Amino acid sequence: MADIASPSTETNTDVAFIGVYKPFAECEAASRTKLAAKNLNLFYSGKQALHGINIDIAAKQVTALIGPSGCGKSSFIRCFNRMNDLIDGCKVDGEVVLDGTDIYSPDQDVVALRSRVGMVFQKPNPFPKSIFDNVAYGPRILGMAHSKSEMDEIVKTSLTSAGLYDEVKSRLDAPGLSLSGGQQQRLCIARAIAVRPEVLLMDEPCSALDPIATSKIEALIQELREDYTIVIVTHSMQQARRVSDQTAYFHLGRLVEHGETGRIFDCPEDERLRDYVMGRIG
């Protein structure tokens, strides 16, 4: 999945949001590590896309991945739930650790992994089903509900957590594709959290949305971070600053700098990050 970045569009879209959220500089110290990459390398048909990535992702915090288009952000986030396994010619070496266990070990159950690590993509992708059935899809496959009332409760709770229930409660039988773009993305978030994952990956979840819908997704991220470890890829530096506790900057397939978000933007150490933050590259 290609990264998309447009400095001029990004600037125009973000002006309305400056100062909406309080920076996370005052957040408590980093929690325990939930996810970690250790000397991670990624190859597509022999061409190296990621080079020796080492990073710890703190539990129940939001970590933003930023960097120029094509720098490896989306490739990296897909390593956390092994979505890269679906790409012919893709090879991963090194380790990706979830709660101390290497998810690339031969005995890893990939289906079970993806129930623990949910994902929301760039563009909303509801199934061609009703709103109810979109959310119920995963719990049905995993046998999470033993009665209709249990399934009803899972759907209601998931839609409520995604900030969508009040808008759709009277039309749960309507097609998911009948919703607006922002509502569709929140439906996809509800679908992702319905299986009760521990980690939520978001690959540029607002890139196809208008400013109002973007603000709703950002507010939702603020709420979800209380219960989930969130990793978000974003082309918007302003968005990263608003929603994340930690930020990691990628450049040409390498992790250049990682740290507390306020420090990354206010006192970048690497010249490449300083140039990116100042708009000289990207």
The answer as to whether 219 is a domain residue is yes
Residue 22: the pLDDT is 37
Residue 279: the pLDDT is 83
Query: pLDDT by residue (tens digit) across 61-119?
Result: 999 999 999 999 999 999 999 999 999 999 999 999 999 999 999 999 999 999 999 99
The answer as to whether 22 is a domain residue is no
The answer as to whether 109 is a domain residue is yes
The answer as to whether 272 is a domain residue is yes
- Domain housing 256: 29-125+199-277
What single-letter amino acid sits at 250?
F
Residue 25: the pLDDT is 37
Number of domains in the chain: 1
Query: pLDDT by residue (tens digit) across 135-180?
Result: 999 999 999 999 999 999 999 999 999 999 999 999 999 999 999 9
The answer as to whether 68 is a domain residue is yes
Specify whether the CB–CB gap between 243 and 232 falls below 8 A: yes
Whole-prediction pTM value? 0.85
The answer as to whether 5 is a domain residue is no
CATH number of the domain that residue 104 is part of: 3.40.50.300
Residue 31: the pLDDT is 63
The answer as to whether 13 is a domain residue is no
The answer as to whether 19 is a domain residue is no
Q: Tell me the pLDDT band of 282, cut-offs 50, 70 and 90.
A: low
Query: pLDDT by residue (tens digit) across 237-273?
Result: 999 999 999 999 999 999 999 999 999 999 999 999 9
Write the DSSP string, 67-115: -STTSSHHHHHGGGTTGGGGSTTEEEEEEEEETTEETTSTT--HHHHHH
